[in-house]
Structure 1
Amino acid sequence: MYNITVREYARLKRTDHPVQQNPSMDFAEISPSAFEYLYELNQELAEQGQQFLDLGRNTSELKVKNFVGVIETPCGTEIEILPKHDSALVNRAQSRLLLVKMLSQVLNLSQKDSGLASIDQFKVPITEWFYLQFLQALQKLYQIGIRFDYQKTDEETLFLRGQLDTVRQIKKPVTKQNEFSIRHDIFTSNRAENRLIRSCIDCICKRTQNSDIWRKAHKYHLLFAEVPPAQDIRQDFKQWKNDRLMSHYSEIKYWCEIILGQQVPFSVKGNKRGKSILFPMEKLFEKYVEIRLLNQLEKGAKLESQKSSHYLAKYEIDQTTKRIFNLKPDLMIEYLCQQENRKKFLVLDTKWKLINTFADENFGLKQSDLYQMFAYNHIYQGHQSDIVLIYPKHAHFGQALQPFLFNIHPTLGGELQPKIWVIPFDLELDKLDIGGLSISGLFA
C-alpha cells in the first residue's frame, strides 16, 4: 500500500518512480496507474455534475479541488486529502484533527466515541478512523445482541422433522425412498444486516495497517464466523430492516455504507473499482457552522438552513408562471428586534475560502459573492436588515472587517443602509469571532 497525504488544492504529478514520502502537503507524486484511475473517476463524476480534480499545469498533473477525505486506487495507492484551513503550511496532525473534529460533529458522534485523542497515531488515520468508528458501533451492537431470524430450508434427511414435502417425496426414485424430503425453519444469524457487517469486518481485517484495529476486527471475525459475507451488497442494503426490533442496528448501518462504498451524506462516489470517501469542504464547513451557531443564539431565536422559498426570476409560458433560479442562503436566523419590537430575519452565508485582510482593497473577496449577497438581501429581506458572510479564521483574517454598505438605488429605498458583515469563524473555539457580542445584538 502506497500512502500519501496532501491538502486541498494540492498538485498530483504523474511519474514512473513516485517518492514514498511527500515533504509538502501541496504536492505529491503518484504512479501512472493511479493517475489514470483518478482521471477516469473524475470524468465519471463530471457526468454526474461533480468533480474533485482539475487539470494542472500540464497533462501530467492533476489539481485537487476543495474536497477532503480518502481516495483508494485499484493499484494500492491511498490518498488522504486534508483541509487547507490556513495559508501557512501546517503539520498533518493539526489538519487531520480539525477534519476529524468537524466530521465527528456533523456525523453526530460524541467526543468519547470519535477517537480524537488517538487519531494522530495512525499512518493513514482518516481511513483508520472510519474503521475505528465501525468497530465501536459493532461493540455496542454486540453487547445488546445481534438479531437472528427464521429461515426456511429444504433438506433430505433420514429422520422426519418439520413438514414433509409430499410432492418431492413422491417424485423420488425407489433407491431414495429411505430419505425424507422435509421443509422446516432454522433460527439463524444469516440475514442481510449481519452479512453486510461481516463484509465490513473482512474489509477491515484485509486493509487496516493498525495492529490494534486488526486485533479488534479479527475478534469479531471469529464471532461472525457462521455468517457468510454479502454476495450482493446493494440488494442486502435494500433488505436492511429499520423496524423497532432493529433500532440498535441504526448506528452501524451508516458506517457499513461508508466502508462498503455506498452513498453517504454530501459525499461523492464513483462506480469504478476502488473506494473513495470525499466530502465537499464547503458543505462540511456550512453544516459545522450551523451546528455550532445553535449554541450562540439568544432565547427565542430560530435558525433555519437552506431556506428555499424565493426565486430570482419568473416567466410566463403557456399561461403558466414558471419560477427559475432558486435562491438558497446557507443559514437564516429569525429573531426579535428589541428596538422595533418585531421579528426580523438575518441571512448568513458560509464560504470555505481563505481571505486576506492584507491582500488588496477587496481583501480577497470575490465580486460574485457580493452579487449573491445583494440578491439574498433584496429578495429575502427587502434591504431591511444586514447580511453576513462567514469565512474561516486564520493568520491573515483574525477579526471582522469593517462592514460594507450596500449601494441602494433611491427607487429601491436609498435611505436604507443595510450592511455586509464579513466575520471569521474560529474553528478552535467553535464560534463566530464578533467580540463577545450576541448575533442579534450586533445586527439589530
Structure 2
Amino acid sequence: MKILKAHITLSEYSYIFIGSEDIGNNKAVDKKTFDEVESFVLQNSDTVQYLKLGQNKLHKYLQAQNYVGVIQTKSGVTIEILPKIARNTDDAKSKNILIKMLKTLRKSPFKNFNTANLKASNLPLLEIFITMFLVELEKLIQKGIKSDYIDKEDNLSFLKGKLKIKEHMQKNLIHKEKFYVEYQEFIQDRVENRLIKTALEYLYKKSKANNNKKRIREFLFVFDDIKVSHNIKEDFKKIRLDRQMNDYALVLQWAKIFLYKNSFSPYKGKEVTFALLFDMNLLFEDYVGHMLKKNGLEVSLQDREHHLAYLDSNTGKFQLKPDIVVRHDAEVIIADTKWKLLSEDKTHQGVSQADMYQLYAYGTKYTSPKCENMYLIYPKNESELTEHQYHYQKDMGGLKLKVLFFDLENPEDEVFYEYFRR
C-alpha cells in the first residue's frame, strides 16, 4: 500500500489508524506508517508513553497523549501532534499558542525567536523549528564565523612549525626534500563550525519547504571550506563556549537538538528517524510560572524547601516539589498546574482526589510564612466551569484550595494574577 499522506496533523487524544479515510479528528495512515510508529511506541513504553496503543470495534489505533511536537518515520511520513487547547480550537491557533509557550521554556533555544512575521499556520512544526535555527545562524554569520588555531601534521616540501623526527625518518629516507612537521593553522575548520555544517546538511535532506532549503544552500556556501563532523557526540564534548564564542550558544543548541534527535525527550528505536516531543505538563507549568514572574510576582518553580517526612532531625525523606510557590512578606501561596481539560460531565469536574491530598501535604509543610491559599491551575476551555473553592476544615477555616483556569488565548488577563497578589 502506498503512503497516503506525507504530513499528518493530530491533536492531543485523537489517534491514527490503518485505513483510507479519516474519521473526524482521527487520521487514517497506511500500514507501513502505523507499524513504524507502533514500533517506536512499544520500544519506549517502559519509560514514557508518547502515544497509547488501543483497540476499538473498528480498528487498532495509536492515540496521542500529553506529548506534542514532531515524529518523522523511516518511510518519510511526518506526524505533527498539537496541544488540545480547547475542544473547538483549530490547528492554526493551537500551533501559534504552542510556539508562544515554547518561547518561555527553560534551557531551550526558543526564547529569542521573534514570531511576529512567522505564519505558523502555513508551516509544519518541523519547518518552523528549522526556520528558528536558520534565523539564529544568520545572526551568527552576520557577526562572522570564528576561526581557531588547529593542530596539523603533514609531509611538506618546506620546513614549517616543529619537525617530528621519528615520523620524518620513517617517511623521508628517500625523499630528502620533504619535512614531516607539526604546525598550527588559523582556519575556520573548527569543531563548532563542523557541527553547524553537519546540521545544515542533515536539515537540507529533512526540509520540504522551498524557502528553508534555499537558505540552507546559501549557508552551506558560507561553510564550504569546513568539513562535516564524523563523530557528533565526541565533537560536542570538545565545544568551548567562552566569552569569545558566546554568539555560538543558541546555534549549537539547535544543532544538538537536530543532530542528537532527542534533546527534550530521549527515545529509542530505529523506525523513527527524528522526534522532537514536549511534555505538555512541564510546558504548561513553565509557561504559567513565566507569566507569573512577568507580572511582577516572586516565583519559585519546583521548590525544594520541604520534605514530607524525616528519619531524624537532619534527614528529610520524600522531597516535596510544588510546581509554583509565590512568596509575599507575610504569606506563601502554593499552586500546581495540571494539563487537562475539566468538564462538568466528570466527577468533581475532573479534579482528582490525589491532587487534593498532594496540595494538602504542601500546605501543611509551608508554615513560615504561613500558607493559607493554594491553587490548582488548569487550562481554560470554552465550558463555563465554576472556579470552585475547597476548605480543608469543616468550619471553613485554615487551608483553602481554589481551582483556577488559565486562559492560553488571553494570557495577560489581569483577573488571574490578582489571585496571587491578595
TM-score for the superposition, normalised by structure 2: 0.89
Deviations 1:410-444 (A, max 9, x none): xxxx6734321111111122146637745222xxx
- Aligned equivalent of 2:372, options 380, 385, 389: 385
In the TM superposition, what is the alpha-carbon distance from 1:323 to its structure 2 partner? 4.2
Deviations 1:89-108 (A, max 9, x none): x3211111111111123247
Larger CA deviation: 224-233 vs 256-265: 256-265
CA contact (8 A) 1:282 1:351 kept: yes
Deviations 1:135-159 (A, max 9, x none): 1111111111111112222222333
2:75 and 2:417 map into 1 onto residues whose CA distance is 52
Secondary structure of 2:372's partner? Answer: coil
1:34 and 1:349 map into 2 onto residues whose CA distance is 38
1:183 and 1:418 map into 2 onto residues whose CA distance is 73
CA contact (8 A) 1:169 1:180 kept: yes
CA contact (8 A) 1:311 1:325 kept: yes
The residue number in structure 1 matching 2:182 is 183
Secondary structure of 2:70's partner? Answer: strand
2:23 and 2:347 map into 1 onto residues whose CA distance is 34
The residue number in structure 2 matching 1:226 is 225
The residue number in structure 1 matching 2:101 is 102
In the TM superposition, what is the alpha-carbon distance from 1:172 to its structure 2 partner? 4.0
The residue number in structure 1 matching 2:118 is 117
The residue number in structure 2 matching 1:67 is 67
Q: 1:329 to 1:438 in 2, by over 3 A?
A: closer
Output the amino acid matched with 2:148.
Answer: D
TM-score for the superposition, normalised by structure 1: 0.85
Deviations 1:187-221 (A, max 9, x none): 22222211110011112221211111111111001
Output the amino acid matched with 2:119.
Answer: S
Q: 1:335 to 1:322 in 2, by over 3 A?
A: closer
Q: CA RMSD in A?
A: 2.7
1:387 and 1:247 map into 2 onto residues whose CA distance is 41
In the TM superposition, what is the alpha-carbon distance from 1:330 to its structure 2 partner? 0.4
Size of the alignment, in residue pairs? 412
1:154 and 1:437 map into 2 onto residues whose CA distance is 67
- Aligned equivalent of 1:427, options 404, 408, 419: 408
In the TM superposition, what is the alpha-carbon distance from 1:253 to its structure 2 partner? 1.6
CA contact (8 A) 2:262 2:275 kept: no
The residue number in structure 2 matching 1:372 is 358
Q: 1:171 to 1:57 in 2, by over 3 A?
A: closer
Secondary structure of 1:68's partner? Answer: strand
The residue number in structure 2 matching 1:403 is 389
Q: 1:268 to 1:83 in 2, by over 3 A?
A: farther
CA contact (8 A) 2:391 2:397 kept: no
Alignment of 1:244-283 (within 5 A): 244-265=243-264, 267-270=265-268, 272=270, 274-283=273-282
CA contact (8 A) 1:333 1:345 kept: yes
In the TM superposition, what is the alpha-carbon distance from 1:244 to its structure 2 partner? 1.4
Structure 1 residue runs of 5 or longer lacking an equivalent are 337-342, 409-413
Alignment of 1:30-41 (within 5 A): 30-41=29-40
Q: 1:169 to 1:376 in 2, by over 3 A?
A: closer
The residue number in structure 1 matching 2:48 is 50
Larger CA deviation: 194-203 vs 168-177: 168-177
Secondary structure of 1:260's partner? Answer: helix
Q: 1:313 to 1:440 in 2, by over 3 A?
A: same
- Aligned equivalent of 1:9, options 3, 10, 13: 13
Secondary structure of 2:153's partner? Answer: strand
CA contact (8 A) 1:268 1:279 kept: no
2:84 and 2:298 map into 1 onto residues whose CA distance is 31
